[in-house]
Amino acid sequence: MPQISQLLEVYGSQFFWLLIVIGIIYFGIARNMVPKISKTVDDRQKRITDDLAAAQAAQDKAEQIETDYRTSINDARADALGNINEAKAKAAKKNEAAVKRADTAFAKKADEADAALKAAKTAALKEIETVAAEAAQAIVSTVSGAKVSAADAKKAVKAAF
């Protein structure tokens, strides 16, 4: 095995060159380049975390805004509904009052008209009676030549009615 048979001749040069190479790797690469690479990874991780946090915050804000909007729109709707109901009630009351007033006026007018009608009817009846009595008197006198007194004719007409 050359590793053992050569050991005494080569260990010096092996150690020497190995120490140089290992030293260059340790100080040049492992202590110099590796931290930079680690930092790149950490920075990226940090940036991803930050971005995610920002996105989460933005989403929360959007949700908050939506909730606010919902609440305000619901409030407005309730308000409007209340207003409408109030207006409806007001209008209904007003209508009722107006209708009542009109009713009373109509009733009054109707009563008056009724009374006038009744009076007119009575007057008309009386007139008709008088005319009928006169007509009956004239007819009797024309047909029979007998003279009928106005009072008799009136009595007969009244009976006929």
Partner 1 sequence: MHQFEVQPIFDGFTLFGQQISFTNSALWMFLVLGLLYVFMMGGMKRELVPGRWQIMVEGIVGFVDNIIATSIGPNGKKYTPWVFTLFMFILFSNLLGMMPFGIIPGIHPFTVTSQFTVTGLLAAISFSIVLVVGFWKHGFKFFSLFIPHGTPVVMIPLIFMVELLSFLVRPFSLALRLFVAMIAGHILIKVFANFVIQAIDAGGASWGIAVLSIIFIAFVSALELLVCAIQAYVFALLTSLYINDAENLH
Binding site residues, partner 1, CB under 8 A = 1-4, 6-7, 9-19, 21-22, 24-26, 28-31, 33-34, 36-38, 40-41, 44, 47
What is the DSSP-derived secondary structure letter of residue 81?
H
Compute the half-sphere exposure of residue 67: CA atoms within 13 Å on the CB side of its CA.
6
Question: What single letter denotes the amino acid at residue 55?
Answer: A
User: For residues 136 and 156, is the Cβ–Cβ distance under 8 A?
Assistant: yes
CA angle 106, 108, 110 (to 5 degrees): 65
The residue (of 39 and 100) whose beta carbon lies closer to partner 1 is 39
The residue (of 43 and 60) whose beta carbon lies closer to partner 1 is 43
Query: At its nearest, how many Å lie between partner 1 and the CB of residue 76?
Result: 47
The residue (of 44 and 158) whose beta carbon lies closer to partner 1 is 44
Query: At its nearest, how many Å lie between partner 1 and the CB of residue 35?
Result: 9
Query: At its nearest, how many Å lie between partner 1 and the CB of residue 53?
Result: 17
Q: Distance between CA 51 and CA 47 in Å, rounded?
A: 6
